[in-house]
Amino acid sequence: ISKIGVLTSGGDSPGMNAAIRAVVRTANHYNIECYGIREGYNGLIHDDFTRMGPRSVKNIITEGGTILKSARSLEFKTTEGRKKAYENLVKRGIDALVCIGGDGTFRGAKIFSEEYGIRVIGIPGTIDNDIFGTDNTIGYDTALNTAMDAIDKIRDTATSHNRVFFVEVMGRDAGFIALNSGIATGALDILIPEKKDSIEELFATFEKAEKAGKSSSIVVVAEGEQLGSIYDLAKATKNGFPDYDIRVVVLGHIQRGGSPSCADRVLASQLGYGAVIGLMEGQTKVMAGMQSNKLVYTPIEEAIKKHNEIDKNLLTISEILAI
């Protein structure tokens, strides 16, 4: 390969810049020309490319977000959109794409590669950590620490006022942030999409906490949790326990921003390097990931299909330690 393109797509995550930097500098090291594509697949369609040399990525390793910008491209879901994208790649003589993002990004890369034979490699960048084939996704560690810091602060005021807080963290299909930030902050209960919960069980947990003498509690709720909205949960709890002073906090997009943690910068550097090496070795339609400290390539198809699994032990631990 002599020319590659790199893009970030879907929800951004802290460390995407570090991954871009690693792709650009590894490509430069092996004399491969590298082009940045702006706003995910939209840039492919609208011919928004920029040549990236090693100095173009200076100092970005510390920055959250993505200098290439990101988007969830609706146009790329259409055959016409992908045709335009292909024509732009041909015009520029680009042989392969590095696509940084989550499952939506990989789905796009897979279809594109199957339709036009373009070589693609994925790098998992999402705070959700729901991608199979890598122990962690880029941005997850930072988001987790952001959530933990925020919940620690909520804990202070919850204790002062003897209050019950319902805190919503991100993860529309996955409970990794909720489970891990909940354990790290000593949450009374953690509600995640992967586990069937019921309002009766939640109430039983509150009763147990009361008996144990708890005067304040935090319940961490994943965005994609099945019991209903966090406001409905708070309302139902107020009906069941009229004496409780209840507050709701939705952490939202603060979890997606901020300077990446050390772990995310290192992971992004490993995967950015690994993606370029993979392309040089002839890999395509795979995702670069780290498993037990080893660089591995997983077929994109598997990465999308098999959801990363929650550690059941962590669920047990959270229940035992909560009281």
CB distance 65 to 36 below 8 Å: no
CB closer to ligand F6P out of 126 and 205: 126
Could you say whether residue 220 binds ligand F6P (CB under 6 A)? no
CB closer to ligand F6P out of 132 and 241: 132
Name 305's Cβ contacts closer than 8 Å, sequence gap at least 6.
132
Positions in 246-275 near ligand F6P (CB under 6 A): 256
CB distance 34 to 27 below 8 Å: yes
Question: How many Å separate Cα 133 from the centre of its chain?
Answer: 14
Positions in 9-68 near ligand F6P (CB under 6 A): 11
**Residue 28: both structure tokens together:** 């430069």
From 85-93, 110-118, 120-128, 189-197, span contacting ligand F6P (CB under 6 A): 120-128
Positions in 144-173 near ligand F6P (CB under 6 A): 170-172
In the annotated binding site, the residues are: 11, 21-25, 72-73, 102-105, 126-128, 155, 163, 170-172, 214-216, 223, 247, 253-256
Q: How far is the CB of 9 from ligand F6P (least distance, A)?
A: 11
Q: How far is the CB of 210 from ligand F6P (least distance, A)?
A: 32
DSSP characters for 47-84?
Answer: T-EEE--GGGGTTGGG--S-TT-----SGGGSHHHHHH
Give CA–CA dist 128/184, Å, rounded: 17
In the annotated binding site for ATP, the residues are: 11, 72-73, 102-105
CB distance 268 to 121 below 8 Å: no
Please identify which residue in 94, 127, 192, 251 interacts with ligand F6P, judged by CB under 6 A: 127
12 labelled catalytic = no
In the annotated binding site for substrate, the residues are: 126-128, 163, 170-172, 223, 247, 253-256
Give CA–CA dist 320/314, Å, rounded: 10
- DSSP lists the bridge partners of residue 101 as 124
Q: How far is the CB of 250 from ligand F6P (least distance, A)?
A: 11
CB closer to ligand F6P out of 172 and 306: 172
Distance (Å) of CA 81 to CA 87, 108, 151, 261? 10, 11, 43, 36
Strand ranges of the sheet holding 189-191, from the earlier edge strand across to the other edge: 189-191, 217-222, 164-169, 246-250
- DSSP lists the bridge partners of residue 217 as 164
From 110-118, 122-130, 204-212, 294-302, span contacting ligand F6P (CB under 6 A): 122-130
Among 136, 205, 123, 129, which residue's Cα sits nearest to residue 170?
129
CB closer to ligand F6P out of 87 and 173: 173
Give CA–CA dist 17/259, Å, rounded: 10
Q: How far is the CB of 245 from ligand F6P (least distance, A)?
A: 29
CB closer to ligand F6P out of 10 and 278: 10
Give CA–CA dist 159/257, Å, rounded: 28
CB closer to ligand F6P out of 124 and 278: 124
Give CA–CA dist 128/136, Å, rounded: 9
Distance (Å) of CA 186 to CA 54, 101, 170, 315? 44, 31, 18, 13
Q: How far is the CB of 175 from ligand F6P (least distance, A)?
A: 11
DSSP label at residue 74: S
Q: Which residue in 12, 47, 95, 128 is the catalytic one?
A: 128
Please identify which residue in 128, 168, 194, 225 interacts with ligand F6P, judged by CB under 6 A: 128
Binding mask 86-105 for ligand F6P (x = CB under 6 A): ----------------x---
Please identify which residue in 126, 217, 237, 270 interacts with ligand F6P, judged by CB under 6 A: 126
Chain contacts with ligand F6P (rule: CB under 6 A): 11, 102, 126-128, 170-172, 223, 256
Residues labelled catalytic: 128
